[in-house]
Amino acid sequence: SRAMTGVNAATFEAWVTDRDGKALALVECRALTEAELRARAVVDAMAACEDARASTWDARAIERAIAAPEAQRTFAGAFARESGALVGYAACASDGAFVATVERVCVREEWRGRGVGGAIVRALGETLREREIYDVGVRAPRRLVGFFEALNYDEDESTHMIFARESEEGVV
């Protein structure tokens, strides 16, 4: 991947390869615009990246994330150069000033394992840097630690705790 010239700094292009390393297609990775985020087709394309059996990020969840104030969320997408189709996206939540957390990176199954996810995360990181947000963390399953480490994210010593509300049956 390389940063593209003549486009904003947060746009990257990446050659997607087959399993043998042969270049197949060029994808453009960049921040999604407000107009794109309001388009039903983009929300549907983002939801199509998800594994319906294993993900809680369906179209409704994506719409809720998009509905957050603009300063508190950032989305980046990967678009196939030939067709213009959205083939992957990343979502980030932020306080709008100092801290952001990558909440989701998802690539359509047929495009996975070929560099698209990394290019999207780099575009997301550049977009956050342009907004002067430098403290960027990741919330991801342990099995993806290597993926993020390869993109220069390091595990830190902070403790993450999740609030669990109580019900009559106990902690939910």
3-state per-residue secondary structure call for 109-159: HHHCCCCHHHHHHHHHHHHHHHCCCCEEEECCCHHHHHHHHCCCCCCCCCC
Task: Give the integer Cα–Cα distance in Å for 77 and 92.
Answer: 12
Helix (H, G, I), strand (E, B) or coil at 36: helix
Q: Look at the alpha carbons of 85, 91, 95, 100 in this order and tell me if their dihedral is positive or negative.
A: negative
Task: Please report the pLDDT score of residue 159 as a whole number.
Answer: 65
Run of H or E residues at 47: helix 40-49
Task: Please report the pLDDT score of residue 13 as a whole number.
Answer: 72
Name the H helices within 50-115.
59-67
Exposed/middle/buried for residue 17 (C-beta within 10 Å: 0-12, 13-18, 19+)? middle
Task: Give the integer Cα–Cα distance in Å for 80 and 28.
Answer: 7
Q: Is 27 left (phi over 0), alpha (psi -120 to 50) or beta?
A: beta
Closest by alpha carbon to 140, among 128, 131, 149, 130?
Answer: 149
pLDDT > 70 fraction of the chain, expressed in percent and rounded: 81
* Beta-strand relationship, 73-80 and 86-94: antiparallel
pLDDT > 90 fraction of the chain, expressed in percent and rounded: 30
Do the beta carbons of residue 130 and residue 122 sit within 8 Å?
no
Residue 3: pLDDT band with limits 50, 70, 90: very low
Task: Please report the pLDDT score of residue 7 as a whole number.
Answer: 36
Residue 54 has pLDDT above 60, yes or no: yes
Helix (H, G, I), strand (E, B) or coil at 75: strand
Residue 67: pLDDT band with limits 50, 70, 90: very high
pTM comes to 0.80
